[in-house]
Amino acid sequence: MNEVTDALSPIEDGQRAENCFLFGPSGAGKTTVAKAAVRELRKEVLDVPHAYVNCWRDYTRNAVLDRLSRDLVGAAVPRSASTSTLLERVHRNFNGPGVVILDEVDQLRETELLYDLHEFRGLSWIGIANDEVDLLAGLDERVRSRVSVGYRVTFDRYGEDTIAEIVRLRARSGLGPNAVSEEVCETIARLVDGDARMGITTLRAAARKASSKGLSNIPKRLVKDAVEDAQIEVRQKTISKLNTHQRALYEVLQKEGRLIQKELYARYQETHSDPVTLRYLRENHLPKLEHYNLVDVEQHGGKKEYRLAIQSDPVVV
């Protein structure tokens, strides 16, 4: 949090900040920290232009520019405005310095957008991705040289104590002072492998279970089932966010079980009407499915074999 706040601090003096990259596994708090840092900045610079873009949802150049023209500069744009109109809108109305969060930036399809951003005077961005290598692999040289400059902040998984603390605070504010014992918080923390999203989802699932049984607190015996429910819930949410390519891969593996990369690509090509190249698949879509724990990979004599991640790991309390 301090590193991101420091990276943004030049904006307080009216200067352009350096770009900043947050890397780390799912549930490590990247999105939370980026948004909190921008919120802190806004306490210092009340009218700082800012925007949040999730590149998994808005993955084309136009979709991002459209969002910037609305949220960053507040300029209404007609539906399906051209790229040049959008660029011109933002250029004309942007009064920097300002900052945009590009969440899941490794999902951006048209990465020349990153070059566009650089051309907006005074604009800096916070890019969020799981892995630096995967992000850079998808970029052409011109864009890569822009992206290679900037702060890097690497997030580890949370430790068990921190997860317990996050769960405890969330339980107190969401469920009241006595609904969740210390032991339950610690049990949840032990089972979610440093993933705060899983921790909070488990807490919610446990609360739902307890309340359907008419209980006013969460007994420890409900935690095991709650973790399993949470795994399913997080997985369902992730699946619902997949783009058509990722979904096609997922469905092929669902049908076929295990496949080596070449077979997987062949089967995907048959099912998708507008397939990407093998290279793009390897560098972008497949790593994403791995990062979100949907797909497991094993090495077999120099070949990568893919399969769906085990539906829900048996939970041992």
| Residues at the contact surface with ligand ADP, assessed by CB under 6 A | 24, 26-32, 166, 196-197, 200
Structure tokens at 84: 């040049």
User: Are 124 and 17 a contacting pair, CB within 8 Å?
Assistant: yes
**Cα–Cα dist 305/264, whole Å:** 9
Least Å distance, CB 285 to ligand ADP, is 18
Least Å distance, CB 201 to ligand ADP, is 8
Give the residue with the Cβ less far from ligand ADP, 114 or 200.
Answer: 200
238 lies in the site for Mg ion, by CB under 5 A? no
Give the residue with the Cβ less far from Mg ion, 197 or 267.
Answer: 197
User: Are 202 and 235 a contacting pair, CB within 8 Å?
Assistant: no
Beta-carbon contacts of residue 307 (< 8 Å; ≥ 6 apart): 253, 257, 258, 259, 295, 296, 298
Element spanning 303, H or E: strand 303-308
Partner from ligand ADP, Mg ion, none binding residue 171, C-beta < 5-8 Å depending on class: none
**Cα–Cα dist 234/293, whole Å:** 10
User: Are 20 and 153 a contacting pair, CB within 8 Å?
Assistant: yes
Q: Do strands 303-308 and 295-300 pair parallel, antiparallel, or not at all (unpaired)?
A: antiparallel
Stretches 26-34, 81-89, 118-126, 222-230: which one binds Mg ion (CB under 5 A)? Answer: 26-34
Stretches 31-39, 229-237, 253-261, 289-297: which one binds Mg ion (CB under 5 A)? Answer: 31-39
Stretches 24-32, 73-81, 187-195, 254-262: which one binds Mg ion (CB under 5 A)? Answer: 24-32
Partner from Mg ion, ligand ADP, none binding residue 197, C-beta < 5-8 Å depending on class: ligand ADP
293 lies in the site for Mg ion, by CB under 5 A? no
Give the residue with the Cβ less far from Mg ion, 111 or 238.
Answer: 238
Q: Which of 8, 19, 31, 228 binds Mg ion (CB under 5 A)?
A: 31
Give the residue with the Cβ less far from Mg ion, 180 or 234.
Answer: 234
Partner from ligand ADP, Mg ion, none binding residue 200, C-beta < 5-8 Å depending on class: ligand ADP
DSSP 181-250: -HHHHHHHHHHTTT-HHHHHHHHHHHHHHHHHTT-SS--GGGHHHHHHHHHHHHHHHHHHH--HHHHHHH
Partner from Mg ion, ligand ADP, none binding residue 253, C-beta < 5-8 Å depending on class: none
Stretches 23-31, 47-55, 114-122, 207-215: which one binds Mg ion (CB under 5 A)? Answer: 23-31
Give the residue with the Cβ less far from ligand ADP, 90 or 166.
Answer: 166
Q: Which residue is nearest to Mg ion (CB)?
A: 31
Q: How far is CA 156 from CA 109, 134, 160, in A?
A: 27, 17, 12
Stretches 27-35, 84-92, 217-225, 239-247: which one binds Mg ion (CB under 5 A)? Answer: 27-35
Q: Do strands 259-260 and 98-103 pair parallel, antiparallel, or not at all (unpaired)?
A: unpaired
Beta-carbon contacts of residue 17 (< 8 Å; ≥ 6 apart): 7, 8, 9, 10, 11, 97, 99, 124
User: Are 229 and 205 a contacting pair, CB within 8 Å?
Assistant: yes
> How many Cβ atoms are within 10 Å of 79's Cβ, its own excluded?
5
Q: How far is CA 312 from CA 48, 70, 200, in A?
A: 44, 41, 17
Give the residue with the Cβ less far from ligand ADP, 65 or 99.
Answer: 99
Least Å distance, CB 82 to Mg ion, is 31
Least Å distance, CB 199 to ligand ADP, is 7
Site for Mg ion, rule CB under 5 A: 31
